[in-house]
């Protein structure tokens, strides 16, 4: 077992893969990723523009501290595609 696999096992992380030819699973994941990026990186870019306006070339890492709250919020919101919260779908064996 490699170092990464050991780290996943240590934190009880299970990797799930979508079924072949099941595009609906991919749609749900891609939409979640898009929503995540919109919420996390929009704030980061705004912060970097403020830094640039002050003459700094520093890159913002505010998204790192914001990420857990954004994921919790996204997992707690009902999605239009399934009509359920992602936190419910995560526990399910399949999403219908």
What pLDDT is attached to residue 93? 67
60 within domain boundaries: yes
Residue 44 counted as domain residue: yes
E strand or H helix at 65, and its extent?
helix 62-75
User: What pLDDT was estimated at residue 53?
Assistant: 93
- The answer to whether position 14 is within a domain reads no
Q: Is residue 18 part of a domain?
A: no
Residue 48 lies in a domain: yes
Q: Judging by beta carbons within 10 Å of its beta carbon (0-12, 13-18, 19+), is residue 21 exposed, middle or buried? A: exposed
4 domain-assigned: no
Number of structural domains (the chain) is: 1
Residue 26 CA, distance from chain mean position: 14
The residue to which tokens 């990464």 are assigned: 4
Q: What is the pLDDT of residue 73?
A: 92
pLDDT at residue 96 in the model: 60
**Does 1 reside within a domain?**
no
Whether residue 10 lies inside any domain: the answer is no
* Residue ranges making up the domain that contains 54: 23-91
Reading the chain (96 residues) residue by residue, the pLDDT tens digits are 789 888 888 988 877 777 777 777 778 778 888 988 988 888 888 888 898 999 988 888 878 888 899 989 988 999 887 788 888 877 776 666
Closest CA to 18 of 10, 8, 28: 28
CA distance 24 to 95: 9
Q: For Cα atoms 40, 67, 12, give the angle at the middle one, nearest 5 degrees.
A: 140
């Amino acid at each position: 077992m490699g170092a990464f696999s050991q780290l996943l096992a240590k934190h009880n992380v299970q990797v799930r893969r979508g079924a072949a030819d099941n595009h609906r699973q991919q749609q749900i994941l891609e939409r979640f990723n898009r929503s995540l990026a919109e919420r996390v990186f929009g704030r980061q870019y705004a912060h970097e523009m403020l830094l640039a306006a002050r003459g700094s070339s520093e890159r913002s890492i505010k998204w790192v501290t914001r990420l857990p709250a954004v994921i919790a919020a996204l997992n707690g919101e009902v999605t239009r595609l399934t009509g359920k919260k992602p936190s419910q779908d995560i526990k399910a064996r399949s999403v219908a």
